[in-house]
Structure 1
Amino acid sequence: MATANLDSSPPVSSEISPPGTVSVFPHTPCYCEENVYFLSKKLCEDGIATSDGSDLFVIFISNEQKQIPLWHQKASHRADGVILWDYHVICVQKRKESNLPHLVWDLDSNLPCPSPLDKYVAETIRPSFQLFSQFQRIFRIVHAPLFLRYFASDRRHMKDSAGNWVSPPPSYEAIVAEDGTLHNLNEYMDMSSIDVVKTIGADTVDSVLSKKSGVLISESQLEEFFSMIS
């Protein structure tokens, strides 16, 4: 992913998560989709999530213009942490206990990681903040077990026209899907408002649980979607 800072204020990148929480997860700046891929795997391996990842959902955030504002991001040069990403990827963990909040894992955030979903929405997405239409955000929700099977990236999107890296790649090998696919990142990050579901219902949940590329929803539907998962 690439950024566009909104001014030249001093960077804000303080870590306010519990000590050691974020540092145990692999993280390469500007490769959020790969960071979330390995985050999901480690949450399963460490017993923080279910072993099959069925309580995890990978969420791509973008729009047609590839310009989405998010607050409290470490890469920001503003005191409020706002930045324009072309796209961003986070992980939401569904909590089975009704009295516990769903959790957002965002390794690029200055908020505690994980953060309760409602707090993350209020602080990072800020739905009450009026945005111009070109900055309206779309959310692609993908069930983590499907993402871990089918996602692939050869990192071509991180090279310029001359073949040079826009940002240094991770040291590990590129991710290849179980079926041998080498690159399908565009299938996840390309979004159109006309494909956003009109209403959230049981069929929306079923589609997320069965479609490898998930379902597109609006930001106003995000918390409603997770309230409908049993």
Structure 2
Amino acid sequence: MATTMNADALDISQFSHTPFYCEENVYHLCKKLWTSGTEGQGHDLFVVFISNEKKQIPLWHQKASQRAEGLTLWDYHVICVQKKKGDSTFLVWDLDSTLQFPCPLASYVAEAIKPSIQLFSEFQRFFRIVHAPIFLRTFASDRRHMKDSKGNWMYQPPEQDLIVAEDGTVHNLNEYMEMSAAEVAKKVEPHLVSAVQSQKLGILIGETQLEEFFSLVS
């Protein structure tokens, strides 16, 4: 019988990482965590897309940055949030971050998202939270967004095969990335947890609501 490795023993070198393909990195990270000792058949894992209507969101402590404190302005970014076994702690798995890996959610919010910094409205971030078991079944990407008008790669793609959804869909990344202020939950309430656990595209919350949402996840 195969044995599984305790997820706490995993380090960053054991995960595949292709710069600028954060959605695929997180897809494969979730699959690895799922098979490496996480509880509940992946039900402790959540995928979080970070973007906004303008497709310009600041994050700090990013490996791609050459600026102070690792500041990077992404069009979108994707991370994994995991409920830690045995307590109410949540961990952030971000393969593009220079912070601790994985990083406690509170630390990641304080250091990478920095809600204490007042941003102009066009830079305020939205968070689309999707339950990993649903994401792994329904997400698809043929990497079309990484080709220029002549069909050339803007960034070298991952070695892994293209991700195709269970229903045969070959590309729906744009559905996860599209975000509008009108979709953002006005208030974080318990029913949003069940919505995340049942809806393909999860729920959309605002700039200061990330920790509040996960405080409701049992």
Question: How does the TM-score come out when normalised to structure 2?
Answer: 0.93
Q: Which amino acid aligns with 2:20?
A: C
Q: SS of the counterpart of 1:52? A: helix
Q: Which one of the candidate residues 93, 114, 130 is aligned to 2:102?
A: 114
Alpha-carbon offset, residue 172 of structure 1: 1.7
Aligned partner of 1:8 in structure 2 is none
Q: Give distance in 1, aligned partners of 2:128 and 2:199.
A: 11
Alpha-carbon offset, residue 74 of structure 1: 0.3
Q: Give distance in 1, aligned partners of 2:67 and 2:149.
A: 30
Aligned partner of 2:21 in structure 1 is 31
Aligned partner of 1:69 in structure 2 is 58
Q: Which one of the candidate residues 40, 48, 65 is aligned to 1:59?
A: 48
Alpha-carbon offset, residue 97 of structure 1: 3.2
Aligned partner of 1:45 in structure 2 is 35
Aligned partner of 1:80 in structure 2 is 69
Alpha-carbon offset, residue 144 of structure 1: 0.2
Q: Give distance in 2, aligned partners of 1:19 and 1:182.
A: 34
Q: Give distance in 2, aligned partners of 1:61 and 1:210.
A: 20
Alpha-carbon offset, residue 19 of structure 1: 10
Comparing 67-76 and 77-86, the one that deviates more: 77-86
Q: How do 1:158-177 residues align onto structure 2 when only pairs under 5 Å count?
A: 158-177=146-165
- The answer as to whether partners of 1:70 and 1:83 remain within 8 angstroms in 2 is yes
Q: SS of the counterpart of 1:186? A: helix
* Gaps in structure 2 of 5+ consecutive residues: 1-7
Aligned partner of 1:143 in structure 2 is 131
The one-character-per-residue Cα deviations of 1:30-65 (angstroms, maximum 9, x if unpaired) are 000000000000011111x22521000000000011
Aligned partner of 1:97 in structure 2 is 86
Question: How does the TM-score come out when normalised to structure 1?
Answer: 0.89
Aligned partner of 2:204 in structure 1 is 216
The one-character-per-residue Cα deviations of 1:90-111 (angstroms, maximum 9, x if unpaired) are 000013534x521000000000
Q: How do 1:182-193 residues align onto structure 2 when only pairs under 5 Å count?
A: 182-193=170-181
1:154 is aligned to 2:154: no
Alpha-carbon offset, residue 79 of structure 1: 2.8
RMSD: 1.5
Alpha-carbon offset, residue 168 of structure 1: 0.5
Q: SS of the counterpart of 2:42? A: coil
Q: Which amino acid aligns with 2:175?
A: E
The one-character-per-residue Cα deviations of 1:183-225 (angstroms, maximum 9, x if unpaired) are 0000101100110001111211111000011100012111111
Alpha-carbon offset, residue 83 of structure 1: 0.5
Q: Which amino acid aligns with 2:39?
A: T
Percent identity of paired positions between Structure 1 and Structure 2: 65
Q: Which amino acid aligns with 2:125?
A: R
* Gaps in structure 1 of 5+ consecutive residues: 1-17
Aligned partner of 1:12 in structure 2 is none
**Aligned length in residues:** 211
Q: SS of the counterpart of 1:58? A: strand
- The answer as to whether partners of 2:39 and 2:85 remain within 8 angstroms in 1 is no
Q: Give distance in 2, aligned partners of 1:119 and 1:173.
A: 34
Aligned partner of 1:197 in structure 2 is 185
Q: Give distance in 1, aligned partners of 2:185 and 2:10.
A: 38
Aligned partner of 1:22 in structure 2 is 12
Q: SS of the counterpart of 1:210? A: coil
